[in-house]
Structure 1
């Protein structure tokens, strides 16, 4: 593979210096063509140098890393996020199969991220497809709005669905089947765990290994060893015995 042209964006100069040194000494094939400390500088540098890869800090003063990405009409580079914060944004990053490094990270973790980048580059086809970064930005934007939507990747592109229209999500191995209030369903190539990480903060609860439900769409609870949640689409979803107490505590908040 050709040399990777990379840019580092981080407001903390010691973090920039540490990452630059790691890349220089331990990661052959990576050429750091620029380092900047702000979103404004990063936009100018990326437009000028057209990097293959951007190491992007999440939390920065004035504007964060996600706001930088929103400045581009079309994202032509890949991103490895660097962050010290395990917050909601990190869940969204993981959901969209993007890579990140949690500070402080080791040389080995950095090398593994670069290996993933190289593998993705080698497997990338010439077919036009929606960038995972673009899906990520859409989810970050819409999940924080009053009328929240989620961008669901399918083989044909994206389906944008209001979160409140999701009744439940059912695991089918590495895929998840999503059931909607209009009785339709959609199979998405994401495991249920990733939906759990993304949607727990918006009133979803994993009641069983195979089921994540929208508590706003639950009509009643039927007592039992674990019990059952009766959903708005008429289905009865089993609640596991070990999750019953936490589920009832959460359900009582509605």
Structure 2
């Protein structure tokens, strides 16, 4: 998930930047002290943005005017304001959440989890009838079944798709792969790892174990991703 921070208050902007850097399922962020710079950046359409943290009271262009200028651009907005009075305006623009300053990391995390959940719902295929997909490997197109993929790993400028029988190295980005894989079958556990949900056998504090033909392999799981995963599994309680 990629995001933008827009806030003319340097302390508030710096705090949000620190929160973003701590949150493993946010891949990249761009930070702006004003809405005009941000809207110009977005309109260039050179970067995929999923989420915007938006202050309301700013000079030149305020947050409400920014949302008007943004129009129907497909992006989620979390308003970050020191005042409650703009909440009705925020509701009118269907924002994902409304955070009151000073923002705590716990509240920040709840808002971003909501945004991530909505993003995953939007990415959910209308039908799960397709059980396979193609990847480009050099000049060849190779068909892979979703059930054969154990995990996907990002290594610098390429991706390694690990299946039961072999590994495939492809020149994709992690986001491109995540956008293609059905979210009901695959789960991101780390900035560099996506795992097939059905292949997860053991969830530990900092790793998960998946079963391969040669035995178990441990993959790292980030704290934020682990919390999301635990909310998403069927856990037998006492």
Tell me the TM-score range normalised by the shorter chain.
0.3 to 0.5
Q: TM-score if structure 1 supplies the norm length?
A: 0.44
> Highest relative contact order (Cα 8 Å, sep 6+), 1 or 2?
2
Q: Work out which of the two has the higher radius of gyration on C-alpha atoms and give 1 or 2.
A: 1
Question: Between Structure 1 and Structure 2, which shows a larger proportion of helix residues?
Answer: 1
